[in-house]
Amino acid sequence: MSIIVDKISYIYEEGSSMERLALDNISCVIEQGEFIGVIGHTGSGKSTFIQHLNGLLKANKGHIYYNEQDIYAPDFKMQELRKHVGLVFQYPEHQLFESTIFKDVCFGPKNLGFSDKDTQIAAFNALRQVGLDESLYYQSPFDLSGGQKRRVAIAGVLAMKPDVIILDEPTAGLDPKGRDEILDCVKKLHDEMKITVILVSHSMEDVAKYVDRIMVINDGKLVFNNEPKAVFARHEELEKIGLAAPSVTYIMEDLYKAGFDVDRSAITIEEAKNSILNLLK
């Protein structure tokens, strides 16, 4: 699996007074097994970008290649792409519609033409992967809590057995506990199922701990595309575009300036703790 994005641009409402360039000449490569964070403040174009990766939006300019195939070629099957690249929208709980949770999760695989048995197995596995309690499977999805609903919606995409899963702000509107649960669950999917994950967020804090690579989008342009440490090292530039490095980075920076020889590239609380403890030994 690989996705190559080649200089794509996208314009909303082309030709009207509301015309807006939402993506400006973005290029990148996504490889099998990566865990990528897409970051930018609200309105920077993150959601627009990821909708290109499974063909829901078509770029005005540029090309996207999935496994070396041009997805805009006339004979390319979008349905096939959507099977391999699963997209979980922001507030995915708003898409639930079936009478029971289990049936809702079956919707995706059934659309893809899985047999009844395969559909049920896939739905069952997906629900287990997101850690939903078995007693809930045959209840109405509308009676669940916000965090639970979101997990059902994620299971709805997982059941399609995608190679890549894209999550658009999966933690929006959740309390810290719900947030950690979702992110840990995603991390587990990546580690155990070897799924490629693209996590969209506007919070560095959220993603720092999990991702291998960060793509920062600002005003439709890809401004950074590097590993977390390298991106956070340039926190002054990040601040200029309305983002910030995790707070730990700032603490370590201040400690360093105050004359302590700590590891300035620490980005998680764990790393920072170890570095400080080492110093105190």
Partner 1 sequence: MLRDITLGQYYRANSLIHRLDPRVKLLGTLIFIISLFLGQSIWLYALITVALIAVIKLSKVPLKYITKGMKSIVILVIISAAFNLFLTDGEVIFRFWKLTITREGIYQCVFMIIRLIYLICGTSIMTLTTTPTNLTDGIEKGLDFLNKIKVPVHEVAMMMSIALRFIPILMEETDKIMKAQMARGADFESGNLVKRAKALIPILVPLFVSAFRRANDLAMAMEARCYHGSEGRTKMKPLKYKSRDHKAYIALGVYSVLVIAISIFMKGRFI
Integer CA distances (angstroms), 186 to 13, 90, 207, 210, in order = 34, 15, 11, 9
Residues whose CB is less than 8 angstroms from the CB of residue 87 and which lie 6 or more positions away in sequence, other chains included: 50, 51, 53, 54, 56, 157, 165, 166, 168
Shortest reach from residue 234's CB to Mg ion, in Å: 24
Residue 16 as a binder of ligand ADP (CB under 6 A): the answer is no
Q: Which does 112 bind (CB under 5 to 8 A by kind): partner 1, ligand ADP, Mg ion, none?
A: partner 1
Q: How many residues bind partner 1 (CB under 8 A)?
A: 28
Options 46, 149, 179, 190; binder of ligand ADP; rule CB under 6 A: 46
Beta strand residue intervals within 115-233, DSSP E: 164-168, 196-201, 213-218, 221-226
Shortest reach from residue 95's CB to partner 1, in Å: 4
Residue 105 or 204: which CB sits closer to ligand ADP?
204
Residue with tokens 């919070």: 203
Residue 97 as a binder of partner 1 (CB under 8 A): the answer is yes
Indicate the pairing of strand 61-66 with strand 2-12.
Answer: antiparallel
Give the type of residue at 201: S
Structure tokens at 163: 């190679």
Options 10, 35, 49, 89; binder of partner 1; rule CB under 8 A: 89
The contact set with ligand ADP (CB under 6 A) reads 12-13, 20, 22, 40, 42-48
The contact set with Mg ion (CB under 5 A) reads 47
